């Protein structure tokens, strides 16, 4: 099996095979004192703080040389003016004057409290800072919003229904993974799709098939053809507990090893994914290896909401024409892209080309990174 390292490899833990996308920090009041000044050469990990131009900032995940308040990646959370200043409160729904909020734009950075009009005509409010994630992708970053004062207020949606008509049939799924572990069921995958209704449901039929093929090709690479459910190197198990997190490791020191289609690992990844999905994975990480739908949901969580070591989510890469190579960068670019491991890149590309052929579509351009 080829276990992949996402973001954590940049922080010097590639040997442990860790995924280190960190859940964004919650807004908080400004600190009374300024933290240590931000340094472009210093590595910051999730929860670490720095001050820049009179404000305190908190890193949401691994970062280096990304200027607080300037970079558009969304890695830095503004904690307010330091040295006795105050944080400007985010606007609340009750303060919205009307329904004439601006249209949502992919890739534009949004702050907590921003209200946008989505392409479906509905309004959404940013629950947490984000670099332009699709409002229907995750309830962690956006919430439905009923604005006031407009002549025809848009009703608040009750949540997406479970999508139907997945572009990959069960027969095609079985053809892609002839030797898969019985745990990775087609039913579990289709049951998980409701968590991210934009996945393989955005754009033309070709784009939808390409995204499904790209997701499954990367998953194929991560799990050795959907064979491995858990990380095979048990010697790594005790490494994945970061006790610097305030919530610690309630399930135990060795409980957060790699599981599922993306080999989710580390306590903070289980917490981030669990919070986004509404499942307490921090206290019960074993769900990722015992519940097929939950396992698939964690893979879709990463695919649809996390940039990894890349500059965009794999979902955005596929629906915005950036190509399969950009999904590799978002999943394991720090170890494979830029000539670091061309054989691994080609392995992913080969799977993607085979899967697009099975789905009766073309692979498109920009296949490598």
- Whether 41 is covered by a domain: the verdict is no
Confidence at residue 84, expressed as pLDDT on a 0 to 100 scale: 55
Residue 200 shares a structural domain with residue 133? no
Note the pLDDT of residue 83: 77
- In a domain, residue 133? The reply is yes
pTM, two decimals, is: 0.58
Core vs surface per residue 105-136: b (16+ CB within 10 A) or e: eeeeebbbbbbbbbeeebbbbbbbbbbbbbbb
Give the span between the Cα atoms of 313 and 316, in whole angstroms.
Answer: 5
Does residue 56 form part of some domain?
no
Q: Tell me how crowded residue 19 is: count the other CB atoms within 10 A of its CB.
A: 29
What pLDDT does residue 96 have? 38
Q: Is 271 inside a domain boundary?
A: yes
> How would you classify the pairing of strands 115-117 and 76-81?
unpaired
What residue has token string 């970062």?
63
Q: Select from 89, 120, 149 the last residue of a domain.
A: 149
135 and 225 share a domain?
Answer: no
Range of the domain at 124: 100-149
Using the 3D structure, point to which of 91, 116, 149 is the last residue of a domain.
149
Q: pLDDT value at position 99?
A: 75
- Claim to verify: residue 180 and residue 139 sit in the same structural domain: no
Q: How far apart are CA 254 and CA 242, in angstroms?
A: 11
Residue 44 forms beta bridges with which residues? Answer: 63
Q: Are residues 111 and 197 in the same domain?
A: no
Residue 94 within any structural domain of the chain: no
pLDDT digits over 233-256, tens only?
999 999 999 999 999 999 999 999
Residues 197 and 229 in one domain: yes
Dihedrals φ, ψ of 37, to 5°? Answer: -60, 140
Q: Cα–Cα–Cα angle for 77, 97, 88, nearest 5°?
A: 30
Task: State whether 309 and 280 are in the same domain.
Answer: yes
Kindly state whether residues 145 and 172 are assigned to the same domain. Answer: no
Task: Choose among 37, 31, 30, 41: nearest CA to 66.
Answer: 41
Phi, psi of 44 (to 5 degrees): -115, 140
Return the bridge partners of 50, or none: 57
Judge if 144 and 234 occupy the same domain.
Answer: no
Residue reference for tokens 């799709």: 193
d(CA 297, CA 301): 6
Q: Does residue 132 lie within any of the structural domains?
A: yes
Angstrom distance (rounded) from CA 231 to CA 223:
9
Q: In this structure, is residue 158 part of a structural domain?
A: no
Choosing from 87, 117, 149, the residue where a domain stops is: 149
Q: Do 110 and 230 belong to one domain?
A: no
**Residues 332, 229: one domain?**
yes
Sorted by sequence, the CB contacts under 8 Å of residue 69 that are 6+ apart come out as: 52, 53, 55, 57, 76, 78
At 167 the pLDDT is 95
Q: Has residue 223 been placed in a domain? A: yes
Which among 195, 310, 188 has a CA at the least distance from the CA of 260?
Answer: 188
Where residue 108 sits, what CATH number does that domain have? 2.10.10.20
Which residues are CB-contacts of 49 (< 8 A; sequence separation ≥ 6)? 31, 35, 36, 56, 57, 58, 59, 79
Q: Are 83 and 67 in contact (CB under 8 A)?
A: no
pLDDT at site 136: 65
Q: Residue 291's domain is classified under what CATH number?
A: 1.10.530.10
Same domain, 140 and 226: no
The distance of Cα 67 from the centroid of its chain, to the nearest Å, equals 22
| Side-chain half-sphere CA neighbours of 234 within 13 A | 0
Catalytic residue, candidates 143, 170, 211, 222:
222
Q: Are residues 356 and 323 in the same domain?
A: yes
Domain count, the chain: 2
CA atoms of 226 and 186, how far apart (whole Å): 11
Angle formed by the axes of helices 205-223 and 324-336, nearest 10°: 20
Q: Is 222 a catalytic residue?
A: yes
Distance between CA atoms of residues 71 and 77, nearest Å: 11
> Which of 260, 351, 334, 349 has its CA nearest to residue 301?
260
SS3 helix, strand, coil % of the chain, rounded to 5? 30, 10, 55
**Distance between CA 125 and CA 141 in Å, rounded?**
8
Q: Which residues does the chain have with pLDDT short of 70?
A: 1-32, 41, 45-46, 61-65, 70-75, 84-98, 120, 136-141, 147-164
Q: Which two tokens stand for residue 253?
A: 């020191």
pLDDT in tens, 20-69: 333 333 333 434 588 888 887 677 766 788 888 888 888 776 666 677 87
Pick from 86, 84, 77, 8: which is nearest to 49 by CA?
77
């Amino acid at each position: 099996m080829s276990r992949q390292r996402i973001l954590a490899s940049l922080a010097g833990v590639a040997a442990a095979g860790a995924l280190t996308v960190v859940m964004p920090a919650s807004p908080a009041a400004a600190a009374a004192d300024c933290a240590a000044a931000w340094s472009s050469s210093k590595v910051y990990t999730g929860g670490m703080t720095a001050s820049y131009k009179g404000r305190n900032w908190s890193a949401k995940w691994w970062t280096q040389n990304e200027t607080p308040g300037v970079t558009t990646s969304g890695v830095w959370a503004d904690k307010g003016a330091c040295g006795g200043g105050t944080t400007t409160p985010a606007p609340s729904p009750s303060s919205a004057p009307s329904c004439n909020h601006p249209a949502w734009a992919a890739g534009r950075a949004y702050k907590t409290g921003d209200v946008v009009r989505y392409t479906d005509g509905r309004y959404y409010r940013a629950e947490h800072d984000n670099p332009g994630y699709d409002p229907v992708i995750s309830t962690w970053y956006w919430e439905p919003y009923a604005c006031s004062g407009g002549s025809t207020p848009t009703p608040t949606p009750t949540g997406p229904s479970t999508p139907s008509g997945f572009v990959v049939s069960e027969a095609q799924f079985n053809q892609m993974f002839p030797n898969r572990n019985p745990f990775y069921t087609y039913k579990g995958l289709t049951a998980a799709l409701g968590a991210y209704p934009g996945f393989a449901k955005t754009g033309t039929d070709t784009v939808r098939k390409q995204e499904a093929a790209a997701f499954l090709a990367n998953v194929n690479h991560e799990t050795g053809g959907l064979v491995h459910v858990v990380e095979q190197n048990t010697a790594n198990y005790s490494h994945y507990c970061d006790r610097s997190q305030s919530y610690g490791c309630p399930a135990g020191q060795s409980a957060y090893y790699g599981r599922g289609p993306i080999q989710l690992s580390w306590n903070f990844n289980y917490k981030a994914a669990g919070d986004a999905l509404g499942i307490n994975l921090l206290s019960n990480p074993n769900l990722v290896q015992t519940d097929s739908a939950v396992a698939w949901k964690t893979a879709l969580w990463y695919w649809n909401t996390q940039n990894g070591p890349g500059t965009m989510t794999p979902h955005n890469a596929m629906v915005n024409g950036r190509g399969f190579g950009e999904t590799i960068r978002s999943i394991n670019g720090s170890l494979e892209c830029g000539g670091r491991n061309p054989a691994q890149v080609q392995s992913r590309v080969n799977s993607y080309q085979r899967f697009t052929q099975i789905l009766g579509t073309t692979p498109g351009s920009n296949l490598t990174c």
